[in-house]
């Protein structure tokens, strides 16, 4: 159901509060540049440091600003199943087109626990759901067999796969077939995944290069791998620069250097310093973004 280049959009702050004006500008720019969907309140959106009221407001604001021009897939995951259900219910009420649900973090559930977690959400809220597997963040890897088991629940329609393993991505594709759209959670793996039959990405680099990200995915989906390879190789240095420090520190810094928002983050995240910021600025300049 969810395909293309979906941006894992940042959450701008100003003086400790949500900067709705900057968020609105970012959303308008993304849509004008051809982004296929907006994903607020994910990892890149600093969801871990948003209060529940802020979380709800970001989703409501994004849905209103987008105004049905592209899908909005709201981040609603939690390491508490009941909290994830409550956030997903709110996303549905706010008018989101779907919900992105990260695997529960810190408490390290078993594969059976993961299945029951997602089943409980799917049975509680009638909204298209995108699974989100990123073991480097959560310390739990949702295995392809568990993903395939979940696809028998009709509202589970997609997965953001960020395991870092192209073999695992391919296993998901083979086990799930057309029951699930598989999106890359790692910009460097978007093209390899699509060559195997994947359907796009929930992208960090799309925050700063939305048109190129969307064009790459569109080219690959049409079988134009010559253009897709060219764009992939052009974007890789930028992708690498955006992960010089923990995401979303570099991408928010990059957008600030581009003049699109402030670089304010919430502790324990802090601004880039010294050499890494210089490397990021050099990559942006080389790419023609500043």
How far CA 177 is from CA of 89, 147, 180, 196, 255, in Å, comes to 28, 11, 7, 12, 37
Q: Using an 8 Å Cβ cutoff, are 193 and 164 in contact?
A: no
From 132, 222, 252, 285, active-site residue? 132
Separation between Cα atoms, residue 186 and residue 261, nearest integer Å: 24
3-state SS record for 150-187: HCCCCCEEEEEECCCCHHHHHHHHHHHHHHCEEEECCH
Rg for the chain, CA atoms, rounded: 18
Annotated active-site residue 285? The verdict is no
From 3, 115, 118, 160, active-site residue? 160
SS3 7: strand
Q: Using an 8 Å Cβ cutoff, are 115 and 133 in contact?
A: no
Which has the closest alpha carbon to 129: 175, 92, 177, 178? 92
Annotated active-site residue 279? The verdict is no
Q: Is 66 left (phi over 0), alpha (psi -120 to 50) or beta?
A: alpha
Q: Annotated active-site positions, please?
A: 132, 160
């Amino acid at each position: 159901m969810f395909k293309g280049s979906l941006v894992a959009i940042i959450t701008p702050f100003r003086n400790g509060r949500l900067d709705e004006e900057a968020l609105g500008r970012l959303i308008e720019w993304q849509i004008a540049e051809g982004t296929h969907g907006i994903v607020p309140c994910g990892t890149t959106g600093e969801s871990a440091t948003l209060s529940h009221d802020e979380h709800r407001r970001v989703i409501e604001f994004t849905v209103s600003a987008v105004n049905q021009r592209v899908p909005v897939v709201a981040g609603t995951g939690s390491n508490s199943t009941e909290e994830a259900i409550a956030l997903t219910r709110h996303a549905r009420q706010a008018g989101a087109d779907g919900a992105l649900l990260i695997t529960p973090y810190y408490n390290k559930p078993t594969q059976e626990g993961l299945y029951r977690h997602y089943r409980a959400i799917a049975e509680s809220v009638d909204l298209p759901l995108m699974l989100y597997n990123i073991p480097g963040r959560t310390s739990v890897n949702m295995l392809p067999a568990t993903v395939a088991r979940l696809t028998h629940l009709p509202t589970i329609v997609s997965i953001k796969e960020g395991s870092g393993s192209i073999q695992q991505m391919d296993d998901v594709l083979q086990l799930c077939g057309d029951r699930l759209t598989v999106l890359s959670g790692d910009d460097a793996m978007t093209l390899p995944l699509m060559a195997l039959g994947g359907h796009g990405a929930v992208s960090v680099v799309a925050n700063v290069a939305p048109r190129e990200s969307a064009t790459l995915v569109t080219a690959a989906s049409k079988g134009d791998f010559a253009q897709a390879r060219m764009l992939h190789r052009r974007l890789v240095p930028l992708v690498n620069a955006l992960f010089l420090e923990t995401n979303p520190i570099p991408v928010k810094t990059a957008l600030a250097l581009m003049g699109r928002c402030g670089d304010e983050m919430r502790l324990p995240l802090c601004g880039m310093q010294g050499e890494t910021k210089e490397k990021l600025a050099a990559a942006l300049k080389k790419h023609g973004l500043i």
